[in-house]
Amino acid sequence: MSDWTIGIIGGSGLYAMDALEDAQWIDIKSSWGQPSDEILCGTIGHVRVRFLPRHGRGHRIAPGSINARANIDALKRAGCTDILAISAVGSLSDELPPGHFVTVDQFIDNTKGRPSSFYDSGFVAHVSMAEPVCDRLSKHAAKAVAKAGGTCSEGATYLAMEGPQFSSRAESKLYRHWGAEVIGMTGMPEAKLAREAELPYALLAMVTDYDSWRDDAASVDVGEIIEQMNANSALARKTVEAFCKGLPKKRTPSPIDHALNDAVLTAPEHHDKALLAKLDAVAGRLLRQA
């Protein structure tokens, strides 16, 4: 067994992992509330896997109600070293048709009111999000899609919207003007929280539809999205298997493993002990050194 423990966050339509060996659902408690579901633990090849369905099994949880802090905290408590997130998205680009996969390399966060940080008064920390994903994980993910028989582009800007409604045509055109290429409802604050937990993170986006920016096309059709989502999910399961089996036997350190170095500004004498207790997993490396 290698020293990789990969957290897989499954998006819409991806609620289980067929390729997992010795699989069992484990209830992992978080000090940040209730995660979306239990975590399915097992192995694929030489890699330990911790799978969490983002919306819960049966798609019970709306995008704005997902407790992303609890999800990331629970995956960290489950021993994850890295995270591969998988998300259904709409396309804002002619070059990303339905059925196409793309690795995300940038985000525009247009969500509203979702808790987006583990750190607050009493333990203030600022991590860099200039490069919000782990490039090495993204490259492994793109190769895995190809191995699984799909088509994957590398590098796209993801617009995270609040939802649960889809975009108006005017909004969709605005997001294109901003430079966004895909749109979804769950990539943020998930990616920010993964960085704060020192977990290298990559997001593999599965295109289900064109968003509402095309004047000569009908608006988003939920029935067509579900049909494409189901087709994408079958490919996603094969991709996860190929991704895990394609990872190097040895995990080399990532700079993201130490993202909290020099990030904390609060002087030790002003640390909030109650907040520190909640941070025992996501900031455990730093706290143990203190």
Cα 193 from chain centroid? 10
SS3 label, residue 109: strand
SS3 label, residue 161: strand
Residues 6+ apart with CB under 8 A from 226: 13
Q: Are 264 and 124 in contact (CB under 8 A)?
A: yes
Whole-angstrom CA distances from 205 to 13, 159, 187, 217, 285 are 13, 12, 10, 22, 30
Of the candidates 105, 209, 215, 262, the residue annotated as catalytic is: 209
Has 215 been annotated as catalytic?
no
Has 209 been annotated as catalytic?
yes
Of the candidates 82, 120, 211, 221, the residue annotated as catalytic is: 211
User: Which tokens go with 97?
Assistant: 């048709």
Burial profile 227-254: b = 16 or more Cβ within 10 angstroms, e = fewer: ebbeebbebbbbbbbbbbeebeeebeeb
Q: Would you name the residues annotated as active-site residues?
A: 209, 211
